[in-house]
Amino acid sequence: MSLLKIKNLTAKLADEDKQILNGLNLTVEKGQVAAIMGPNGSGKSTLSYVLAGREDYEVTGGEALLDGENILELAADERAAKGLFLAFQYPIEIPGVGQMTFLKAAINAQRKKNGLDEISTPEFIKLVNGKAKELGISPDMLKRSVNVGFSGGEKKRNEILQMALLQPKVAILDETDSGLDIDALKIVADGVNAMRSPDRSFVVITHYQRLLDYIKPDVVHVLSGGRIITTGGPELALELEAKGYADIVGKAA
């Protein structure tokens, strides 16, 4: 059964005419880790933003079903509440909004939409401290404003912390490896791997095969020109790493 099914999706920037996604079809099965690779400008980040509901993109056709429900008409916060999570390529600094305030607001927003009471403060603190420790996030980082003064690696770990707290059905990791050294990459990958479960799917967007050494995909899709042009097993990533994109993009064209 598929947790995420994208049918014939076309999209563009709201204030430009050029289509970036051109009839994209993608199915991610429950429990699957799907890697999406592709050259610069192929539409990888657009796909993640369109799925997460960023308002400066306009969907011009197609649908995206999350656990059977089309989410493209929903606001970003409603999609998140239904279990969609985007780990940002460039996590944003929010001066003045405390990390704990933010995490609590996110958890409670999700609980509220699912008809649950707000989390109690002791329960919340215990939960966050436990997950933070696993990800090597210091108590000091939890006291600061969201992402303010964090290194690139700390910001990415913070994304994984949010994912671990929100326990999404489908997590999209947008170039989570960018800007990470090997040690940070391992911590992030361990965080993701710890969350792999038969009930959860991951879409791992990356330029490079390296991340996939640590987060082993079940399936690899190649995105080019706003469409999936080929799909294969983990060996496809190795092949791309060896030969580059030009060959495979050329064949598909």
* Chain residues that interact with another protein, rule: CB under 8 A: 52-56, 75-77, 80-81, 85-86, 88, 91-92, 94-97, 101-102, 105-106, 109-110, 113, 145, 162, 166
Of 20 and 81, which has the nearer Cβ to another protein?
81
Of 86 and 228, which has the nearer Cβ to another protein?
86
Of 112 and 243, which has the nearer Cβ to another protein?
112
> In this structure, how many other beta carbons lie within 10 angstroms of the beta carbon of residue 96?
8
Of 167 and 178, which has the nearer Cβ to another protein?
167
From the CB of 3, what's the least distance to another protein, in Å?
Answer: 18
Of 92 and 182, which has the nearer Cβ to another protein?
92
From the CB of 49, what's the least distance to another protein, in Å?
Answer: 8
From the CB of 198, what's the least distance to another protein, in Å?
Answer: 24
From the CB of 105, what's the least distance to another protein, in Å?
Answer: 5
From the CB of 163, what's the least distance to another protein, in Å?
Answer: 10
